[in-house]
C-alpha cells in the first residue's frame, strides 16, 4: 500500500465515511457557504480520497476554510458526509504536527456562555497553529 | 423400503466445476435403498429426462432423487418425467446442490462432501414419501382490477376483449388516474386527455366491464380461481341512474373552498363535484366533510336545482360481494411529500411547485387555464429553474433510494413545451445524470438542448431562497465548471420522486401479496414472471409494481391481462396436495391451529370416537384442502403433534435431519 493509500484509509477510519457512496451530484458544493474560499470543493473531497490524493487535500486551502457547519452532511442525498472527510484530513495534519494553537487550560478564560459546543470542537480542530 | 434412483446433474460447469459429481455417484451408489445412480450433464434436457424414464423401467424404481438446481427451477420438470415413467409425481425429491452448494462454495472437497450429505437427506425423505393426489378447484370466470388508471383500464379492456367479465374498482370519483392530470405526453407530445379519454369511454361502454368508482375493496377471502371480494361503494349522495351530468349543482353549490385533489390543491372545488370535465362516470359526488347540508343541516341547494332529482342525502355505503377467478392490482402512485426538503422552500413559496403541479398549470383546464404564470402574483415568468432527482436516488432517510425513471423525460418535455410556447422564457435544468433509455428518448432530450435552447447544468440546487421582491434566489453547483452559482428565478419546478399509492399496504395485506421495502408490489420472478405476484391468482399492472412511463405501463397491463386470461380460460385448477391433515386420535380440539392459520383453512367438528371401548364425543380439527396453502404454521403450533403436512411430514423432516447429522 502506498503512503497515500495508507492516509486515505486513515481518513476513512477517522471519519467513518465510505466515499464510494457518492453519486457525484454536487449538492454538497451547491450548499457549502465557504465554497468560493476553497480551492478543492466539497464534492472533490470525496474524489480526492477515492483517488488517494491526500497530500493535495492536506495542503489545500479548503482544510482551513471549511466552517464545519455540516450543511453538506445534512443535505447529501447519499449520506456520504463530505464535511467529515475534510474534518478527518484536518485531524491528520493536527496529529502529525502535534502543535496546538490553543492549550486546553487556556480555554476556560475564552469561554462565552452562549457558545455552541460544536463551535468549540470545530475551533479546536481548525486553529491549532 | 423404496427402490431409489439418484441422478446427479453437472448443470454444465455450474455444479461440476465445484462438486466432484463422479465421486458423489460413487458414494451414493452404496447407500442403502439406492438401486440406481448416475450423473449427467443436463438432467433437465430431453436426454436427461429420458434417463429417468429408462432407469425407472429397467430397475423398477419407486422413488427418484435429482441432485440439481433449486426445486423452484425444475421440480415441475422432474415430477412430470416421473409421471411419464408411471410413478406418482410426488415420489420425486430434489437435492439442491447448485444454489445451496456449488454456487456458494469454493473448495471442491468441502462442496462434494456437502453434496453427498444433501443427497442423503433427500434419499431419507423419499424413503418415507407416499403417493399424493391433487384435488380440483373451480375457476370463477370473472376478474377484478383494483385501480382505474391507465394500467387498470388497459388490463380490463384486454381481459374483456377476450370475452371475460371484468370489474374495475377505483377509489376516486372517476377512472383515469394520473394520466388524466397530465397535459402533453412524451415522447410524441400528444395531448394526454386526447389519447386517454377514448380508452375511458371504451371501458365504460364495454358490455363485459363493470366500473365501481368512489369504491374500495373491503375484504378478500378465498384463493386462486375462487376469490370472494367485498367492494364498498361509498355513498355518492347522487343517484347514478338519474343524474344527467348537467353540472348545475356544482355551479350553484356555495361551499367552494375545498382544495381540488385533481388540481393538486392549486385551486378549489365545490362540495359536490366531478374531478374533471371528462370524468367517467360524469356523475358528481358530495364530499360530506365539505357539504354545508351535512355539516349544519341547512343549504340543500343542489337538491333544489337538480332537474333530474338525482341528489340523495340519505344514501349510505353499499357493500357488493362478488366472486373472482383472478385479481389484478393496478393501484399506481403518488408523488412524495416534500416536508423534509426545506432547502427548496416548497412550503414557503407558491412559486416552487412539483412537476405534477406544473402539468396542471400547463393544462387548459387547470387552475391558470393553461397560462404559464407565477402562482403567487400571476406574473409571466422570465426564468424557470427545474431540479431533477428531488427525493429520488437518496440514501439518507429523507427520500427514496430508487430512480423514479420518468422524471428525466418529463422534465425535458416541460422545458421544451415552455420554450416552444414562450420563447422569451429562459429555462435552466439542474441534473445529476440524464437517463433516457427508450425508443426516441435521447433524441427527445437532445432536441430540448439543441433546438429549444434549454440550459442543462450538471449539478444540484443547494438552496432556494424567496426574496423580498418576489424572486427566488437559487444557489447551485455547476460541476463541469467547478463553480457555485447563484441565479434569480421566477419559478422553481421540482421533479419529485414517486412512490406507490398509500393504500397499497392495505391491499397487499388483504391479498397476501408481498411488497418490497419501498411498498412496490413484488413480482414472482424479477425476470421470468414480472407481472405475477408470488401469491397465485394475483397479477400486477402499472406503477404499483415499479416506476414506469405510459408505454411501459400499457405493455405491462397487457401482459397482466394475458396471465389473468390464461387462468380464467381453465375450467378447473389442480390444488396442491401438500396440505395439512390432523390425526383425529391425537387432536384434543384446543383451537391453537385455527388461530395460527393465515388462510382460515381450519374448522372444528364434533365426532364420535371409540377409545378402547369407551364411546365419547370429541372436538377435532378439520383442514379444508381447498383453502390450505401448505404453509405448515399449524403443524408447528399443534401441542399434541396431531397436525402434519402431507409431503412434508414431521417424520420426513426428522429423517432428513438425521441423515444430515449422521
Ligand atoms: C409529472 C409527471 C409527468 C408524467 N408525464 C408522462 C409523459 O409525458 N409520458 C409518459 O409516458 N408518462 C408520464 N408520466 C408517467 C405516468 O403518469 C404513469 O406512467 C401512469 O400514470 C401510470 O399509470 P398507473 O395506472 O399505473 O397508475 P395511476 O395513474 O396512478 O393510476 C392508479 C389508479 O388507481 C387508483 N387507486 C389507488 N389505490 C387504490 C385503491 N386502494 N383502490 C382503488 N383504486 C385505487 C388511483 O386512484 C388511480 O386512479 C408522468 C408522471 C408524472 C408524475
Ligand atoms: S452531496 Fe453527497 S453524493 Fe452528492 S456529490 Fe456531495 S458527497 Fe457526493
Ligand atoms: S462543513 Fe465545510 S465543506 Fe461542508 S458545507 Fe460546511 S463549510 Fe462546506
Ligand atoms: S347541499 Fe352540499 S353539495 Fe349541495 S349545494 Fe349545498 S353544500 Fe353544495
Ligand atoms: S398448513 Fe398453513 S394453510 Fe394449511 S391449515 Fe395449516 S396453517 Fe392453515
DSSP H helical ranges for B536-611: 550-568, 592-596
Are B345 and B461 within one domain? yes
Q: For residue A57, is pLDDT > 60?
A: yes
- In angstroms, what separates the C-alpha of A83 from chain B's closest C-alpha? 15
- Mean pLDDT of all residues in A76-80: 95
Distance set, CA A39 to CA A42, A44, A65, B57 (Å): 10, 10, 9, 81
Residue B221 lies in a domain: yes
Q: pLDDT digits over B616-649, tens only?
A: 888 999 998 878 889 999 999 999 999 999 999 9
Mutate to test the pocket of ligand 5, among B135, B592, B623, B647 (most ligand atoms within 8 A of CB): B623
Residue among B398, B460, B475 whose CB faces A25 most closely = B460
B484 in A contact zone (CB under 8 Å): yes
| Position A1 confidence tier, pLDDT thresholds 50, 70, 90 | very low
Residue B574 lies in a domain: no
In chain B, whose CA is at the least distance from the CA of A39? Answer: B482
* Mean pLDDT on B295-321: 96
Q: Match 397530465 to its residue by C-alpha cell.
A: B182
Residue B395 · residue A79 · CB < 8 Å: yes
| Facing residue for B484 by CB, picked from A35, A44, A75 | A35
3-state secondary structure B154-181: HHHHHHHHCCCEEEEECCCCCCCHHHHH
> Between B551 and A94, where is the model more confident?
B551
Q: Where is average pLDDT lowest: A17-31, B44-58, B598-612?
A: B598-612
Do B456 and B375 fall into the same domain?
yes
Between A116 and B393, the more confident residue is B393
Same domain, B176 and B322: yes
Identify whether residues B373 and B387 lie together within a single domain.
yes
B228 CA from centroid of ligand 5 (Å): 19
DSSP A16: -
| B135 found inside a domain | no
For B39, phi then psi, to 5°, come to -115, 155
The answer to whether residue A127 scores a pLDDT higher than 80 is no
Q: Chain B interface, mutation test: which of A27, A30, A41, A75, most B Cβ atoms within 10 Å?
A: A30
Nearest chain A residue to B461 by CA: give it. A30
Last-in-domain residue among B546, B568, B590? B568
> At B661, which helix (H) or strand (E)?
helix B650-661
Residue B460: list chain A partners with CB under 8 A: 25-27, 30
HEC string of B25-78 equals HHHHCCCCCEEEEEEECCCCCHHHHHHHHHHHHHHCCCEEEEEECCHHHHHHHH
Which residue has the CA at smallest separation from atom 19 of ligand 1? B549
Quote the pTM value.
0.87
Nearest ligand 4 atom to alpha carbon B270: 8
Q: How high is the mean pLDDT of chain B?
A: 96
* Test site for ligand 1: of B280, B437, B549, B561, most ligand atoms within 8 A of the Cβ: B549
Q: Does domain A3-101 sit in CATH 1.10.1060.10? A: yes
pLDDT tens, position by position, B425-474: 999 999 999 999 999 999 999 999 999 999 999 999 999 999 999 999 99
Residue spans of beta strands (DSSP E) within B417-518: 426-431, 455-458, 461-466, 472-478, 483-489, 491-496, 498-500
Write the pLDDT tens digit of every residue in A8-39. Answer: 999 999 999 999 999 999 999 999 999 999 99
Cβ pair B320, B300 in contact under 8 A: no
Within a domain: residue B195?
yes
pLDDT grade for B342, boundaries at 50, 70 and 90: very high
CA B346 to chain centre: 31
pLDDT category at A129 given cuts 50, 70, 90 is very low
Question: Cβ(B427)–Cβ(B419) under 8 Å?
Answer: yes
Residue B339 and residue B327 share a domain: no
| Predicted confidence (pLDDT) per residue in B78-90, tens digit | 999 999 999 999 9
**Does B406 lie in the same domain as B372?**
yes
Chain B nearest-CA distance from A81, in A, is 11
pLDDT in tens, B277-305: 999 999 999 999 999 999 999 999 999 99
Instruction: Using pLDDT thresholds of 50, 70 and 90, give the confidence band for residue A95.
Output: confident
> Last residue of a domain, which of B128, B160, B195?
B128
Closest residue to atom 8 of ligand 2, CA basis: A22
In this prediction, residues B504-528 reach a mean pLDDT of 95
| Residues B90-113 pLDDT 10s | 999 999 999 999 999 999 999 999
| Residue B131, all three cell numbers | 403417493
Q: Which pLDDT score is estimated for B614?
A: 85
Task: Check residue A128 and give its pLDDT.
Answer: 52
Residue B483 is classified by DSSP as E
B290 in the same domain as B384: no
For residue B37, give every residue at least 6 positions away whose Cβ sits within 8 Å of its Cβ, in sequence order, or none: B5, B6, B7, B8, B25, B28, B29
- Assess whether pLDDT exceeds 90 at residue B66: yes
Residue B345, domain CATH:
3.50.50.60
Query: ipTM for the complex?
Result: 0.81
Q: Give the separation between CA B465 and CA B478, rounded to whole angstroms.
A: 18
**Residue-number span of the structural domain to which B288 is assigned:** 248-305
Tell me what the mean pLDDT of segment B548-575 comes to. 97
Specify the ligand 1 atom closest to the Cα of B152.
Answer: 25
CA B62 vs CA A7, B74, B281: distances in Å: 67, 20, 62
Closest CA relative to residue A67, chosen from A36, A26, A97? A36
Q: Which residues of B touch A43 (CB under 8 A)?
A: 477, 479
Regarding whether B636 and B489 lie in a shared domain, the answer is no
Same domain, B456 and B584: no
- For residues A115-127, b (16+ Cβ closer than 10 Å) or e, as one string? eeeeeeebbebbe
Q: How many domains does chain B have?
A: 5
> Using CA atoms, how far apart are residues B182 and B196, in angstroms rounded to an integer?
10
What CATH number did the domain enclosing B122 receive? Answer: 3.40.50
Residue with cell 423404496: B2
Q: Is there a single domain that holds both residue B350 and residue B437?
A: yes
Amino acid at each position: 500500500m502506498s503512503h497515500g493509500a495508507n492516509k486515505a484509509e486513515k481518513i476513512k477510519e477517522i471519519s467513518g465515511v465510505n466515499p464510494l457512496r457518492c453519486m457525484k451530484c454536487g449538492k454538497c458544493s451547491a450548499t457549502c457557504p465557504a465554497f468560493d474560499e476553497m480551492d478543492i470543493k466539497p464534492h472533490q473531497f470525496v474524489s480526492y480520497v477515492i483517488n488517494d490524493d491526500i497530500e493535495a487535500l492536506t495542503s489545500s486551502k479548503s482544510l482551513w476554510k471549511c466552517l464545519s457547519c455540516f450543511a453538506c452532511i445534512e443535505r447529501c442525498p447519499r449520506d456520504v458526509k463530505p464535511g467529515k472527510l475534510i474534518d478527518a484530513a484536518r485531524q491528520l495534519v493536527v496529529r502529525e504536527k502535534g502543535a496546538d494553537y490553543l492549550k486546553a487550560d487556556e480555554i476556560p478564560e475564552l469561554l462565552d456562555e452562549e457558545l455552541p459546543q460544536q463551535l468549540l470542537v470545530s475551533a479546536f480542530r481548525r486553529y491549532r497553529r | 423400503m423404496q427402490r431409489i434412483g439418484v441422478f446427479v446433474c453437472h448443470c454444465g460447469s455450474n455444479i461440476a466445476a465445484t462438486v466432484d459429481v463422479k465421486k458423489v455417484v460413487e458414494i451414493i451408489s452404496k447407500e442403502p435403498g439406492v438401486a440406481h445412480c448416475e450423473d449427467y450433464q443436463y438432467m433437465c434436457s430431453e436426454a436427461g429426462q429420458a434417463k429417468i424414464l429408462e432407469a425407472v423401467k429397467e430397475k423398477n424404481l419407486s422413488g427418484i432423487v435429482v441432485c440439481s438446481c433449486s426445486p423452484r427451477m425444475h421440480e415441475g420438470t422432474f415430477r412430470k418425467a416421473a409421471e411419464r415413467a408411471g410413478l406418482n409425481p410426488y415420489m420425486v425429491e430434489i437435492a439442491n446442490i447448485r444454489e445451496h452448494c456449488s454456487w456458494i462454495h469454493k473448495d471442491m472437497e468441502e462442496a462434494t462432501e456437502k453434496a453427498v450429505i444433501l443427497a442423503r437427506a433427500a434419499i431419507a425423505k423419499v424413503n418415507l414419501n407416499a403417493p399424493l393426489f391433487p384435488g380440483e378447484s373451480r375457476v370463477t370466470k370473472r376478474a377484478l382490477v383494483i385501480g382505474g388508471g391507465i394500467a387498470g383500464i388497459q388490463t380490463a379492456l384486454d381481459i374483456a376483449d377476450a370475452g371475460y367479465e371484468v370489474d374495475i374498482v377505483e377509489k376516486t370519483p372517476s377512472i383515469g388516474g394520473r394520466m388524466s392530470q397530465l397535459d402533453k405526453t412524451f415522447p410524441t407530445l400528444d395531448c394526454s386527455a386526447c389519447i386517454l379519454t377514448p380508452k375511458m369511454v371504451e371501458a365504460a361502454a364495454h358490455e363485459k366491464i363493470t366500473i365501481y368508482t368512489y369504491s374500495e375493496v373491503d375484504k378478500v377471502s378465498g384463493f386462486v380461481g375462487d376469490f370472494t371480494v367485498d367492494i364498498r361503494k361509498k355513498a355518492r349522495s347522487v343517484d347514478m341512474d338519474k343524474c344527467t351530468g348537467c353540472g348545475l349543482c356544482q355551479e350553484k353549490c356555495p361551499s367552494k373552498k375545498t382544495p381540488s385533489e385533481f388540481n393538486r390543491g392549486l385551486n378549489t372545488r365545490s362540495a359536490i363535484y366531478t374531478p374533471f370535465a371528462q370524468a367517467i362516470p360524469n356523475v358528481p359526488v358530495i364530499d360530506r366533510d365539505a357539504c354545508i347540508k351535512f355539516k349544519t343541516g341547512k343549504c340543500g341547494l343542489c337538491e333544489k336545482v337538480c332537474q333530474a332529482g338525482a341528489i340523495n342525502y340519505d344514501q349510505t355505503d353499499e357493500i357488493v360481494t362478488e366472486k373472482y377467478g383472478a385479481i389484478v392490482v393496478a393501484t399506481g402512485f403518488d408523488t412524495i411529500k416534500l416536508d423534509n426538503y426545506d432547502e427548496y422552500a416548497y412550503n414557503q413559496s407558491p412559486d416552487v411547485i412539483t412537476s405534477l403541479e406544473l402539468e396542471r398549470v400547463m393544462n387548459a383546464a387547470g387552475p391558470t387555464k393553461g397560462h404559464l404564470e407565477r402562482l403567487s402574483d400571476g406574473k409571466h415568468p422570465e426564468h424557470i429553474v427545474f431540479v431533477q432527482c428531488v427525493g429520488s436516488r437518496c440514501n439518507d432517510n429523507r427520500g427514496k433510494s430508487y430512480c423514479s425513471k420518468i422524471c428525466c423525460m418529463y422534465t425535458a418535455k416541460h422545458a421544451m413545451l415552455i420554450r416552444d410556447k414562450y420563447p422569451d422564457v429562459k429555462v435552466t435544468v439542474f441534473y445529476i445524470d440524464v437517463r433516457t433509455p427508450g425508443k426516441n428518448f435521447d433524441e427527445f432530450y437532445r432536441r430540448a438542448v439543441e433546438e429549444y435552447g434549454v440550459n442543462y447544468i450538471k449539478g444540484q440546487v443547494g438552496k432556494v431562497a424567496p426574496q423580498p421582491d418576489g424572486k427566488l434566489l437559487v444557489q447551485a453547483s455547476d460541476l463541469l465548471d467547478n463553480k457555485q452559482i447563484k441565479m434569480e428565478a421566477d419559478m422553481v419546478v421540482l421533479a419529485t420522486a414517486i412512490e406507490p399509492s398509500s393504500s397499497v399496504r392495505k391491499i397487499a395485506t388483504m391479498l397476501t401479496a408481498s411488497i418490497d421495502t419501498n411498498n412496490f408490489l413484488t413480482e414472482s420472478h424479477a425476470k421470468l414472471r414480472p407481472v405475477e405476484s408470488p401469491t397465485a391468482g394475483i397479477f400486477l399492472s402499472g406503477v404499483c409494481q415499479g416506476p414506469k412511463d405510459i408505454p411501459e405501463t400499457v405493455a405491462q397491463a397487457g401482459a397482466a391481462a394475458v396471465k389473468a386470461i390464461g387462468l380464467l380460460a381453465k375450467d378447473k385448477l389442480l390444488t396442491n396436495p401438500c396440505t395439512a391433515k390432523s390425526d383425529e386420535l391425537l387432536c384434543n380440539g384446543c383451537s391453537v391451529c385455527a388461530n395460527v392459520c393465515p388462510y382460515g383453512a381450519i374448522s372444528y367438528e364434533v365426532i364420535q370416537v371409540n377409545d378402547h371401548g369407551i364411546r365419547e364425543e370429541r372436538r377435532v380439527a378439520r383442514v379444508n384442502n381447498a383453502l390450505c396453502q401448505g404453509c405448515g404454521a399449524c403443524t408447528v403450533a399443534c401441542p399434541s403433534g396431531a397436525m402434519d403436512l402431507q409431503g412434508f411430514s414431521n417424520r420426513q423432516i426428522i429423517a432428513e435431519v438425521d441423515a444430515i447429522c449422521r
